[in-house]
Amino acid sequence: MNSPQLIHLPKFLDNRGNLSFIEEKNHIPFKIERAYWIYDVPGGEHRGGHAYRHLDEFIVALSGSFDVVLHDGHKEMKFSLNRSYYGLYIPRMMWRDIENFSTNSLALILSNGGYDELDYIRDFDEFANDVHNQ
């Protein structure tokens, strides 16, 4: 999958509370090597502002809501995440900004690799150049 995609997850509705889950290579198209989460984001702040050369990710709003703004080097796409039973698959080489966090929002991000600062592209012009030279 080379393009970003909203993926619906299984949802078990229950009077005792609802349950959803994710299985690697089943609901998301990669093996999960790392999970991290973003929380306690002050009002008006945004996260991201970079692309990854080799990392694929899946991001879900476990609580609250936020917007994920993606750029593939040609066009911008905006996704609003506000439910814990679906998330956004973001393939590698996709510029991302995460913004408009609601109070107490919690973003869970699953990734196909460990943290590697060398995999980041933090300059948008460099990113756009790399896309066009691919």
Interface with ligand TYD by CB under 6 A: which residues? Answer: 34, 36, 38, 47-48, 50, 115
- Which residue of the set 27, 50, 71, 132 is catalytic? 50
Q: How far is the CB of 2 from ligand TYD (least distance, A)?
A: 21
Closest CA to 78 of 56, 58, 100, 57: 100
Give 29 or 49: the residue with its C-beta nearer to ligand TYD. Answer: 49
Give 99 or 130: the residue with its C-beta nearer to ligand TYD. Answer: 99
Q: How far is the CB of 120 from ligand TYD (least distance, A)?
A: 7
Alpha-carbon distance of 78 to 57, in angstroms, equals 16
Q: What is the DSSP string of 33-76?
A: -EEEEE--PPTT--EEEEEESS--EEEEEEES-EEEEEE-SS-E
93 conformational bin, left if phi > 0, alpha if psi -120 to 50, beta if neither: left
Extract the tokens encoding 67.
Answer: 């917007």
**Is there a catalytic annotation at residue 132?**
no
Q: How far is the CB of 43 from ligand TYD (least distance, A)?
A: 16
Q: Cβ neighbours of residue 131 under 8 Å, at least 6 residues apart?
A: 72, 73, 74, 93
Give 13 or 118: the residue with its C-beta nearer to ligand TYD. Answer: 118
Give 48 or 73: the residue with its C-beta nearer to ligand TYD. Answer: 48
Q: How far is the CB of 46 from ligand TYD (least distance, A)?
A: 8
Known catalytic residues? 50
